[in-house]
Chains A and B, each alone.
Chain A
């Protein structure tokens, strides 16, 4: 099933400089009961965003009018914990198309790539520069250029290269997904299955 193509994203960003943000924070388990992929954005960071009485927590960044944008910038080891793809869905559904961090948990990174959210891993130094820049000027824009594998802060003339394997890059640029690929080699898979040891 194709998803949105991703090439160049120019946007302001939302800073969340906390390490080890786990998927239970991104979307708590009690919101995983849907049988369709709908409405998860409402509960993104639910318990950091709302009090028990559902009133917004004023000090949380998603409740701060100053910070908006399609890029979420998080601290080291973003997305650790549960394999729930709902975390990536919530991020997408809220309106983010890219998550930047200095380190991602494995399964979360895959989940993002599989639904068309680009996880971008940058150096700790560059991540700190982004945090400083956005706190200094919440309207500052970042450019995420997938073709060139670069994140730029044009106003400050800063940029950094990021890594992504060429297969996943092609998928993101064209909006392909893995099932499209696998269905094309179905005969090979069936042949392979005849000789598996178990």
Chain B
């Protein structure tokens, strides 16, 4: 029987099937961070259980860590306590822990691929919805809740009904100034934030096969923002080139054996999806969001739509515009902004810093803009320095912070003040997401760079 890529990976990990219930799915890699794990470890303790496969479990600190002065003790006592708990739990259960100050520390979804923990055909979970990022390698990767974290720690399995399958196919060539982030924001604007709920997505077509691994990660990362559990892209030579030789990828004979499995990881010709969607890559433009969910995005040079043209409730739409202090029919271009955030598991990789730097090179940051540039990991930070990007950024008036999730969810001190506008390369523009009362405009690193230079929402193509 013809199978999709998703079927192949899922079916090969089913330990047990329950009639009219979930499948018991074996998990190859479990990533753990400080915020969604302490209660799970407490649960283990209460049940008298140990972590079943510590070698398949990887812990890093990222969500609440400061992005300056990481060498000093963490000032926020509650955050410090959570970090200490993760360190203690990791030690107790024999889990590798890349905490604050560790050279491999960084955002869980950035370091996983960097060190080859993320591999094609693997099942990967983490107590974080953006675990979908790892699907870029042809893995089934999705976010889970804390009860499920406890399940995976104790049994290396999770109980999930098999999702339906959706394929999003985009052919064509992307226009200049259009990045993977724009592709994802474009898809979400068409599908809405619930359009893919209940589905697992496979992205296919020339736009994705031409895309870099970093770009694929950005797209898969945002799958959850259309409601999907995850999204994946069939592994190809780009994937294998990326992972080869990384610390946790198979070596020598094991590599050959793994390649045998990986090379079969593509959707069979006659395989059937529950839903297929096609878009034309040539019709995608730089995007920006104007509202309070990631589906409320438009072509940056268009006007904010009218409430009565929306699928979702008119009142909810109006509430959202009121929060943003925007009006229907207004142009987005030229609006003043206050903050720029470059970073997060969506756009905190080296390619994102290269793109940002390309725009700001030889220019100066607008004086009214506060810019937070936060690398996704120490590895990214190191590359920024080694490639000479830091020098260019400094000359343009930007400084680099230390790695972490930072202003994406503002659990640390990196909070956008109430009422202020932030052009952010992160993944969510929910009310107060970046700090109580903050107003988020999601966009690509290019749009963020253009806004940082001009102090206004600007089409980056006009600056190149």
Contact = CB atoms under 8 A, between A and B. Distances in A.
B16 A188 contact: yes
A130 B198 CA distance: 25
A44 to B, nearest CB: 14
B151 interface: yes
B156 A47 contact: no
Interface in B120-142: 121-122, 127-129
A37 interface: yes
A193 B432 contact: no
B411 A103 contact: no
Nearest to A24: B430
A156 interface: no
A83 B431 contact: no
B439 interface: no
Contacts of B16: 185, 188
Contacts of B159: 178, 181-182
Interface stretch (B19-27, B342-350, B357-365, B369-377): B19-27
Nearest to B139: A198
Interface string B183-210: 0000000000110011000000000000
B384 to A, nearest CB: 26
A52 B208 CA distance: 44
Given A85-B147, A106-B229, A182-B157, A33 B316 contact: no
Interface stretch (A64-72, A147-155, A165-173): A165-173
A20 B293 contact: yes
Contacts of A22: 293, 428, 430
A88 B146 CA distance: 10
Find the residue from B22, B78, B157 having the highest chain A CB count within 10 A: B157
Q: Specify the main secondary structure of chain B where it touches its partner.
A: loop
Given A106-B197, A182-B151, A33 B145 contact: no
A198 B258 contact: yes
A196 B204 CA distance: 27
Contacts of B119: 198
Interface residues of A, number: 58
B18 interface: yes
B261 interface: yes
B354 interface: no
B198 A196 contact: no
Contacts of B24: 182, 185, 189
Contacts of B62: none
Contacts of B436: 28, 30, 47, 52
Interface stretch (A5-13, A110-118, A135-143): A110-118
Interface string B424-439: 0000101111001100
B180 interface: no
B70 interface: no
A19 B159 CA distance: 28
B220 to A, nearest CB: 16
A18 interface: yes
A85 B145 CA distance: 5
B283 to A, nearest CB: 26
A81 B428 contact: yes
A157 interface: no
Contact of B430 (A19, A25, A30, A105): A25
Interface in A108-128: 110-111, 114-115
Contacts of B315: 17-18
Given A19-B316, A25-B431, A189-B155, A32 B35 contact: yes
Interface stretch (B79-87, B93-101, B329-337): B79-87
A107 B146 CA distance: 11
B445 interface: no
Nearest to B119: A198
Nearest to B433: A24
A166 B147 contact: no
Interface in A1-54: 1, 17-20, 22, 24-25, 28-30, 32-37, 47, 52
Interface string A82-108: 111110100000000000000111110
A111 to B, nearest CB: 4
B366 interface: no
Contact of A77 (B82, B129, B194): B194
A1 B39 contact: no
Given A188-B16, A197-B261, A114 B148 contact: yes
Interface stretch (B40-48, B167-175, B393-401, B452-460): B40-48
A168 B122 CA distance: 26
A107 B156 contact: no
Contacts of B194: 20, 76-77, 80, 103, 105
A193 B26 contact: yes
A71 B236 CA distance: 49
Contacts of B279: none
Nearest to A84: B36
B197 A114 contact: no
B53 A107 contact: no
B312 interface: yes
Contacts of B293: 20, 22, 80
A39 to B, nearest CB: 12
Contacts of A52: 418, 436-437
B82 A33 contact: yes
B431 A47 contact: yes
Given A22-B430, A185-B24, A192 B143 contact: no
23 contacts: A18-B315, A20-B193, A22-B293, A24-B428, A25-B432, A32-B63, A33-B35, A47-B437, A52-B418, A85-B36, A85-B127, A85-B145, A85-B146, A103-B194, A106-B197, A165-B21, A167-B21, A167-B22, A179-B151, A182-B151, A183-B49, A189-B26, A197-B12
Given A47-B437, A83-B36, A198-B258, 12 more contacts: A19-B312, A52-B437, A77-B227, A81-B129, A107-B145, A178-B147, A179-B155, A182-B24, A182-B151, A182-B154, A189-B24, A189-B155
3 shortest A-B CB distances, which residue pairs?
Answer: A167-B21, A33-B78, A114-B147
